[in-house]
Chain A
Amino acid sequence: MTEREHHEYDVIIIGAGGAGMRAAVEAKQRGLKVALITKSLLGKAHTVMAEGGAAAAMGNVYKEDNWKVHFRDTMRGGKMLNNWRMAQLHAQESPDRIYELEEWGALFDRTKDGKIQQRDFGGHLYARLAHVGDRTGLELIRTMQQRIVSLDVDVYMECKVIRLLTNDDGSVAGAVAYWRPTGEFVTFSAKAVVLATGGVGKSWKFTSNSWESTGDGHAMALWAGAELQEMECIQFHPTGMVWPLSVRGILVTEGVRGDGGVLRNSEGKRFMFDYVADMFRAETAESEDEADRWYDDHSAGRRPPELLPRDEVARSINSEVKAGRGSPHGGVYLDIASRRSAEFIRRRLPSMYHQFMELAGVDITREPMEIGPTCHYIMGGVRVDAETAASCVPGLYAAGEASAGMHGSNRLGGNSLSDLLVFGRRAGMAASDYAESKASVSINEAQVSDYIAEALAPLERENGENPYAIQHDLQELMQANVGIIRKEDELVEALEHLEVLKERVKNVSATGGVSYNPGWNLATDLPSMITVSICAAQGALNRRESRGGQTREDFPKADPELGKINFVQRQTQGAGYLNPISVSPEPLAEMPDELKVLFEEAK
């Protein structure tokens, strides 16, 4: 065998989205040797898809806003399943993280007095989202990317990490990866590893996620001995495009509703007024008049029901379509054309305007959009310590969508971008602390050659199965059985089918060579896709209630007892793709009294 490329680092960060880049900045500023590894090009990560904004209680538009209100909104949006400490840290620190971006060159939209402008979003009591039109994620990623470049962080682009490497004591030792352009393998030894690999949405058929969202970080963490939780809590964004079929799932920003867009069924009715849950009744408008007054002055009326948290809206749309009041292509209408001027729409929502114009031939300044729920975000992920983002594997950290706890069972729009920054930084700090405390590490060659052999197997196997066929079957299965509404028998069936798919992956074969071969690349993604799918289905089966991103047709109500429990998944009988995953209920950390008071006051 020819000599393999090898690098030694203090901290490696896997994933170059917002969280990964923020972690890299933190570690690099500490003077450590840092590598940022991404399976795409730098600046292409899924963070660019975030549209609406980054939630931070800066109080630039409504002085009444502060971290306590933001904290309360976040916890209630997450149906109290959140790790309270994470939600608190997030609410307290996000304004500083946003201001920091400005020092690095970000250009947010401004208020009249020159402060950062903030916009309304679902579930947030006050206008709170710092934004740049409807391309806030792009602004965030570009700002971080330029910061990374100016700090001269080593970036490994189009380099896919396949497995984490561990020491005999179970602590993390590094990672093994391959370069997608050449197919050559490369190893990294690292004192600390930060996982910032994003989500899992590619296992579903209709998703706003890109090919990258294969749950690599979730799966690799599990295989390395870490724990996952809330894997059943998957957010279906209420407004994805539904037509043409080929663009089904592409996101339509919540900003459309924040800026005045309303949802109507085929009868033209604003149906959201019929779906206001008790928890939100006190603060939601009762009539269209009241709701319309609110847009201009939040004290003149209560919030429109279109701005309820995403899980509520997605479920309502689903019910309308099921009741036969959907649009021709199986969605409902999102109408801003009749409510705002064309000039306003083009200025506030430029990329939505272009997206519909170019992909669907729909002019959103004249016609309503057809939309429906799309798989968008996983609240679950690696179980981490709130302060440090540390997993139970020494030296392994997780931030962003790959980690769990922050968002509970349902994430509020705008909280992901600020989550990335707050916990990306914290993960970077803690990983640096850990790396500084450690002497050098070495990697286990036996592990490395096993993993490389495993990754190369599909290329050596002949007449095996087409990886695209397996991916297709997986997506169909997850969409049908572990979709927005779930049932006991369907979940059991899904788990049975997933076992079959797991076996089929063993027989997958890829044609062609190692250089930039998407078929082979997909074959190496399949194990993580199937692992996270199993976790999601298992979690959904165990959580016998409806809460946030978990909706059970057979258990339509939230169960107060289950609201105090996390379903934690781990591999107890040996770690690795083929080994079983166990699920165990574990109690949620209890909120201190001074925070509990906040929820009493609101009632």
Chain B
Amino acid sequence: MSDITMRVWRGDQNGGAFENYVMPKVEGEVILDVIHRIQATTAPDLAVRWNCKAGKCGSCSAEINGKPRLLCMTRVDQLPEGEPVTVTPMRTFPVIRDLATDVSFNFEMARKVPAFNPIPKPEEGYRMQQIDVERGQEFRKCIECFMCQDVCHVIRDHEENKPKYAGPRFFIRYAELEMHPLDTNDRRELVREKMGLGMCNITKCCTEVCPEHIKITDNAIIPLKERVVDADFDPVAWLGRKILRRTKRTSEEAAVQPD
């Protein structure tokens, strides 16, 4: 069988460069297999983060030919035949070494999410209908590969936005909580003011790269934006509140409007 040329970026905080590795092709392999063979033969210290190798844990995120991909779910035979395969670390996060990046930004943003706060548990236990959990279940498919965070230009190209931008991964988390049939918190102010929802300009790259095929933009970010409009930008609602001297609707009130 023919060979495959891997152009792998190697380096750390002090900079780096591409190194080429020529490996024999093996039928059915994914890029992570090739990287593993490079480790086992010529470069044992080639750093790559991975765990399950089955597309379920979201550890092996990197960029292949400039696009965010899971290394374990990208088959060699899907890439252009005969061309070298460029593998680089995720661009948005500081590099640790080679293909491994410091993704702690995401864990910090996770800490800022106000926790799930359910209604008191009724005696017979919680009841929820399938139709009510399905929206949230889509978002809970997220494997936290952080490729949506990586591809989002708001932080990919603008380091200074990082402290004030939760990113698509956490927008789906906020959306999940806002759509959870038992939750009582209203996080709309928070998402608008501190989590940078307004910075998203819905260019949908997050949806394009999601390995779980979550409709991040259509099903989470835009509905969140519309919920924020309900709370903050709806002039009729604003006028109504002024006239009736009411405070902003809580999410609970918003949820029990008559049909």
Instruction: Report the stretch among B124-132, B158-166, B226-234, B236-244 that lies at the interface.
Output: B124-132
Contact status B46-A518, CB under 8 Å = yes
Inter-chain CA distance A114–B129, complex, in Å, is: 5
Inter-chain CA distance A360–B97, complex, in Å, is: 31
* A377, chain B: closest CB distance, angstroms: 15
Instruction: Report the stretch among B50-58, B148-156, B246-254 that lies at the interface.
Output: B50-58
Partner of B59, one of A44, A133, A351, A517: A44
**Quick check: is B103 within 8 A (CB to CB) of the other chain?**
yes
Inter-chain CA distance A117–B73, complex, in Å, is: 31
Interface size on B, residues (CB 8 A): 60
Residues A44 and B57 in contact in the complex (CB < 8 Å), given A107-B140, A518-B39: yes
Q: Which residues of B contact A518 (CB under 8 A)?
A: 39, 44-48
Contact status A511-B128, CB under 8 Å = no
Residues A41 and B50 in contact in the complex (CB < 8 Å), given A246-B33, A354-B55: no
* A130, chain B: closest CB distance, angstroms: 13
* B146, chain A: closest CB distance, angstroms: 10
Instruction: Report the stretch among A18-26, A258-266, A465-473, A558-566 that lies at the interface.
Output: A465-473
Inter-chain CA distance A519–B28, complex, in Å, is: 25
Residues A107 and B133 in contact in the complex (CB < 8 Å), given A359-B75, A468-B40, A516-B98: yes
* B40, chain A: closest CB distance, angstroms: 4
Interface-central residue, B50, B52, B96, B136, by most chain A CB under 10 Å: B52
Inter-chain CA distance A246–B23, complex, in Å, is: 15
Partner of A46, one of B52, B129, B133, B213: B52
Contact status A142-B54, CB under 8 Å = no
Contact status A110-B128, CB under 8 Å = yes
**Quick check: is B144 within 8 A (CB to CB) of the other chain?**
yes
Contact status A468-B44, CB under 8 Å = yes
Contact status B96-A246, CB under 8 Å = no
Q: Chain B at the A interface: mostly helix, strand, loop or mixed?
A: loop
* A583, chain B: closest CB distance, angstroms: 32
Contact status B28-A515, CB under 8 Å = no
* B127, chain A: closest CB distance, angstroms: 3
Contact residues, B44-93 vs A (CB, 8 A): 44-59, 73, 75
Residues A247 and B52 in contact in the complex (CB < 8 Å), given A105-B180, A518-B44, A519-B45: no
Contact status B45-A517, CB under 8 Å = yes
Q: Which residues of B contact A515 (CB under 8 A)?
A: 12, 47, 96-97
**Quick check: is A574 within 8 A (CB to CB) of the other chain?**
no
**Quick check: is B118 within 8 A (CB to CB) of the other chain?**
yes
Contact status A49-B52, CB under 8 Å = yes
**Quick check: is A109 within 8 A (CB to CB) of the other chain?**
yes
Interface size on A, residues (CB 8 A): 66
Instruction: Report the stretch among A96-104, A442-450, A536-544 that lies at the interface.
Output: A96-104
Q: Which residues of A contact B116 (CB under 8 A)?
A: 104-105, 146, 150
Contact residues, A127-176 vs B (CB, 8 A): 132-133, 135, 138-139, 142, 146, 149-150, 152, 155, 157
Inter-chain CA distance A105–B55, complex, in Å, is: 24
Inter-chain CA distance A486–B82, complex, in Å, is: 45
Contact status A250-B98, CB under 8 Å = no
Contact residues, B84-142 vs A (CB, 8 A): 96-98, 100, 102-103, 107, 110-111, 113, 115-116, 118, 121, 125-130, 133, 136-137, 140-142
Partner of A115, one of B54, B107, B127, B140: B127
**Quick check: is A113 within 8 A (CB to CB) of the other chain?**
yes
Residues A211 and B45 in contact in the complex (CB < 8 Å), given A110-B133, A358-B55: no
Contact residues, A222-252 vs B (CB, 8 A): 243-247, 250-251
Contact status B103-A41, CB under 8 Å = yes
Inter-chain CA distance A139–B133, complex, in Å, is: 13
Partner of B127, one of A114, A247, A510: A114
Contact status B96-A516, CB under 8 Å = yes
Partner of B26, one of A157, A246, A359, A512: A246
Residues A511 and B56 in contact in the complex (CB < 8 Å), given A138-B143, A472-B40: no
Contact status A107-B57, CB under 8 Å = no
Q: Which residues of B contact A287 (CB under 8 A)?
A: none
Contact status B54-A250, CB under 8 Å = yes
Q: Which residue of A lies closest to B47 (CB)?
A: A516
**Quick check: is A355 within 8 A (CB to CB) of the other chain?**
yes
**Quick check: is A582 within 8 A (CB to CB) of the other chain?**
no
Contact residues, B25-50 vs A (CB, 8 A): 26-30, 33, 39-41, 44-50
Q: Which residue of A lies closest to B97 (CB)?
A: A516
Inter-chain CA distance A155–B111, complex, in Å, is: 12
* A157, chain B: closest CB distance, angstroms: 8
* A375, chain B: closest CB distance, angstroms: 14
Contact string, A467-487, partner B, CB cutoff 8 A, digits 1/0? Answer: 111001000000000000000
Contact status A243-B143, CB under 8 Å = no
Contact status A132-B75, CB under 8 Å = no
Q: Which residue of B lies closest to A469 (CB)?
A: B40
Residues A142 and B44 in contact in the complex (CB < 8 Å), given A40-B59, A114-B128: no
Contact string, A36-55, partner B, CB cutoff 8 A, digits 1/0? Answer: 00001111101011000000
**Quick check: is A212 within 8 A (CB to CB) of the other chain?**
yes
Q: A135-B141, A138-B141 are in contact. List 19 more A-B contacts (CB 8 A).
A: A40-B51, A41-B103, A48-B143, A99-B125, A155-B107, A210-B51, A244-B27, A245-B27, A246-B33, A247-B53, A250-B53, A358-B73, A468-B41, A510-B45, A515-B12, A515-B96, A515-B97, A516-B97, A518-B44
Pick 7 A–B contacts, CB within 8 A, sort by A.
A43-B144, A44-B52, A109-B133, A146-B116, A246-B29, A468-B39, A519-B44
**Considering the complex of A and B, which 3 residue pairs feature the smallest CB-CB distances, nearest first?**
A244-B28, A512-B45, A519-B44
